Amino acid sequence: MEELDFKGLLGHFARLGFQREEQVILGHFGTVQTLLSLIFGEPGHVRLKAQGEENGEINRVVELVCGETIVCFASTRIPVLKNSPEVLQEISDGALGLGQIVRKLEIPNRRNLMTVGRDHRSFWRTYSIEGPNLFLKISEGFPRPPFEEIGWTKKEEATHG
Give the long-range contacts of residues 83-87, CB within 8 A, separation 24 or more.
83/133, 83/134, 83/135, 83/136, 84/132, 84/133, 84/134, 87/133, 87/134
Question: Residue 110 sits in which domain range?
Answer: 6-149
Gap between the Cα atoms of 53 and 78, Å rounded = 9
In this structure, what CATH number is given to the domain that contains residue 73?
3.40.1410.10
Model confidence pLDDT, tens digit, residues 91-150: 998 878 898 899 999 999 998 989 999 999 999 999 999 999 999 999 999 999 999 999
Domain assignment present for residue 154? The answer is: no
* pLDDT over 70 at 55, yes or no: yes
Dmax of the chain from CA atoms?
50
Domain assignment present for residue 156? The answer is: no
As for how many domains the chain has, the answer is 1
Domain assignment present for residue 91? The answer is: yes
pTM of the model as a whole:
0.88
